[in-house]
């Protein structure tokens, strides 16, 4: 084991020291350059080393770095919230600022519960979620997550919540195919509401586009409108987890815009500051906040580092950069090129089951048998092996596993910063094709 007092994320894995970042590149202490082709865990959108964001954070920290959110506000947060209100598909929005996606999901679960109680629906204490999802590492977020490898060890510690199948057409839970399936995965929501009892369900929480657990799964076009109808029919809050998909990642400011659907609440993070500061956001409607205020006085929630002034400055500068450099449009344009190149290079590989994605959020799913869709054995550790081989060649990719049945199944996420050029995308795809040939031959 490496001699260090740092508790590593991967204990047995060597960690070079990153010393500098610029655009899509990271540099280590030995001077080696890496293309960040996944934005870390799909975080970095505006690129590394943006001086405008660093300067805004430094200026805010130099003026006032921390105030308690229950006592003060700051100009940075007020300006940012005003700007963001014009972008989110919620109408007259209010924003509760936290520090991680997990925290934002916890806040959303609490908000849904408190709002239902404030409406006189005290029996509504259940949130339905989906299998093949990930919503965070805290116990409440794990209870709604649908990733067995993250949940199982801690399941005795939380109150589990009901789950329904995801709109994962490549591996349809109903052994059907779109459009002949009749959107059974969406109809499953209504069936689960009836199973739980309509008076018990407070909310439905899901990722607009499947995230790291399944790998950039884009639902059929009618899926979200159908879900919206079901939620309205039963008085249930629709919560969109846009932690990964928000702030341009799918080629729109927020992924729900692709289907013209307005959720009742949104959780956001990652791209809000592009990795420059740990900031997450719960977005809700003003009318719902007012319902809680009339009934209870305040939202029963808080956190030491909520509503952070430096976080607000970082987010505002990130938003400025996204807008001034037209990076949401760039994500759509460059993302289309990325998808095309991935399809060309890997779409017909005998061990690639599917290349899928939208905007700058793509995934390659690997299979041992293309015809049967049989996954590789989990013991092969294929996705990790692929990512490690790419890392050795100076390309950072984000591995995922368990998509097929919770244990087996391998995919790689390809989600570079929006500033990636066509030449840089070509280099990423070339390396991915190379390591695919090496790793699948060994695994087979």
Domain final residue, candidates 308, 324, 340: 324
Domain final residue, candidates 324, 345, 367: 324
- 171 contacts 373 by C-beta, under 8 angstroms: yes
One domain for residues 319 and 330: no
One domain for residues 341 and 435: yes
The predicted structure's pLDDT at residue 441 = 84
* Structural domain contains residue 345: yes
The predicted structure's pLDDT at residue 442 = 72
* Structural domain contains residue 13: no
One domain for residues 248 and 151: yes
One domain for residues 289 and 341: no
Query: What is the domain count for the chain?
Result: 2
Helices 309-324, 75-85: axis angle to 10 degrees equals 40
Tokens at 187, concatenated: 């109809």
Tokens at 30, concatenated: 């030995």
Strand 93-98, strand 33-36: pairing: unpaired
Identify the H or E element spanning 410: strand 410-414
d(CA 171, CA 191): 20
One domain for residues 244 and 346: no
One domain for residues 239 and 350: no
* Structural domain contains residue 229: yes
One domain for residues 228 and 365: no
One domain for residues 64 and 186: yes
One domain for residues 302 and 332: no
* Structural domain contains residue 410: yes
Tokens at 363, concatenated: 């995934």
The predicted structure's pLDDT at residue 150 = 94
- 140 contacts 158 by C-beta, under 8 angstroms: yes
Per-residue pLDDT of the chain (444 residues; tens, 9 = 90+): 568 899 988 888 888 999 999 999 999 999 999 999 999 999 999 999 999 999 999 999 999 999 999 999 999 999 999 999 999 999 899 999 999 999 999 999 999 999 999 999 999 999 999 999 999 999 999 999 999 999 999 999 999 999 999 999 999 999 999 999 999 999 999 999 999 999 999 999 999 999 999 999 999 999 999 999 999 999 999 999 999 999 999 999 999 999 999 999 999 999 999 999 999 999 999 999 999 999 999 999 999 999 999 999 999 999 999 999 999 999 999 999 999 999 999 999 999 999 999 999 999 999 999 999 999 999 999 999 999 999 999 999 999 999 999 999 999 999 999 999 999 999 999 999 999 999 998 765
Provide the β-strand partners of residue 36: 396
One domain for residues 39 and 163: no
One domain for residues 43 and 58: no
- 276 contacts 53 by C-beta, under 8 angstroms: yes
Tokens at 250, concatenated: 């799918």
User: How is the chain split among helix, strand and coil, in percent rounded to 5?
Assistant: 40, 15, 40
- Own/partner pairs, 296-301, CB within 8 angstroms, 24+ separation: 296/114, 296/117, 296/118, 299/96, 299/110, 299/111, 299/114, 300/110, 300/114, 301/96, 301/107, 301/110, 301/111
Domain final residue, candidates 324, 350, 366: 324
Domain containing residue 213: 53-324
Sign (positive/negative) of CA torsion 266, 269, 272, 278? positive
Domain of residue 344, CATH code = 3.90.1150.10
* Structural domain contains residue 258: yes
The predicted structure's pLDDT at residue 13 = 84
d(CA 131, CA 207): 11
> Which residue has tokens 């806040």?
107
The predicted structure's pLDDT at residue 444 = 59
| Burial class, 139, CB count within 10 angstroms (exposed 0-12 / middle 13-18 / buried 19+) | middle
DSSP labels, 142-170: HHH---HHHHGGGGGGS----EE----GG
Domain of residue 57, CATH code = 3.40.640.10
* Structural domain contains residue 142: yes
* Structural domain contains residue 438: yes
One domain for residues 204 and 112: yes
CA distances from 97 to 46, 312, 320 (A): 21, 9, 18
* Structural domain contains residue 4: no
Model pTM score: 0.97
Integer-rounded Cα radius of gyration of the chain: 21
């Amino acid at each position: 084991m490496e001699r260090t007092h740092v508790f590593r994320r991967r204990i047995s894995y060597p960690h070079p020291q990153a010393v500098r970042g610029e655009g899509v590149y990271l540099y280590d202490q030995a001077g080696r350059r890496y293309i960040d082709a996944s934005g870390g865990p799909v975080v970095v959108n505006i690129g590394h080393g943006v001086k405008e964001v660093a300067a805004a954070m430094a200026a805010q920290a130099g003026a006032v770095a921390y105030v308690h959110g229950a006592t003060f506000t700051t100009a940075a947060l007020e300006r940012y919230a005003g700007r963001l209100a014009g972008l989110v598909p919620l109408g007259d929005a209010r924003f509760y600022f936290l520090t991680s996606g997990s925290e934002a999901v916890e806040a959303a679960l609490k908000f849904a519960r408190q709002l239902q109680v404030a409406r006189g629906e005290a029996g509504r204490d259940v949130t339905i979620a989906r299998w093949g999802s990930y919503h965070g590492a805290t116990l409440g977020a794990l209870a709604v997550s649908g990733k067995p490898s993250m949940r199982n060890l801690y399941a005795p510690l939380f109150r589990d919540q009901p789950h329904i199948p995801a709109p994962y057409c490549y591996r349809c839970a109903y052994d059907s195919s779109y459009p002949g399936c009749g959107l059974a995965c969406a109809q499953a929501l209504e069936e689960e509401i009836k199973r739980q009892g309509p008076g018990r369900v407070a909310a439905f929480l899901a990722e607009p586009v499947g995230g790291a657990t399944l790998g950039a799964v884009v639902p059929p076009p009618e899926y979200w409108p159908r879900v919206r109808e079901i939620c309205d029919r039963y008085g249930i809050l629709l919560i969109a987890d846009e932690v990964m998909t928000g702030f341009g990642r799918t080629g729109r400011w927020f992924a729900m815009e692709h289907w013209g659907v307005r959720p009742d609440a949104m959780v956001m993070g990652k791209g809000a500051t592009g990795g420059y500061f740990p900031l997450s956001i719960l977005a809700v409607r003003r009318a719902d906040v007012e319902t809680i205020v009339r009934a209870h006085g305040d939202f029963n929630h808080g956190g030491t580092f909520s509503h952070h002034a430096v976080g607000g400055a970082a987010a505002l500068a990130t938003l400025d950069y996204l807008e001034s450099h037209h990076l949401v449009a760039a994500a759509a344009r460059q993302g289309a090129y990325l998808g095309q190149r991935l399809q060309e290079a890997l779409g017909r590989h005998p061990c690639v089951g599917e290349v899928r994605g939208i905007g700058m959020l793509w995934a390659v799913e690997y299979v041992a048998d293309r015809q049967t869709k049989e996954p590789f054995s989990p013991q092969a550790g294929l996705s990790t092996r692929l990512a490690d081989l790419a890392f050795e060649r100076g390309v950072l990719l984000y591995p995922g596993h368990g998509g097929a049945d919770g244990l087996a199944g391998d995919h790689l996420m390809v989600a570079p910063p929006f500033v990636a050029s066509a030449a840089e995308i070509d280099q990423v795809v070339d390396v991915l094709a190379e390591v695919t040939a090496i790793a699948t031959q060994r695994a087979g």
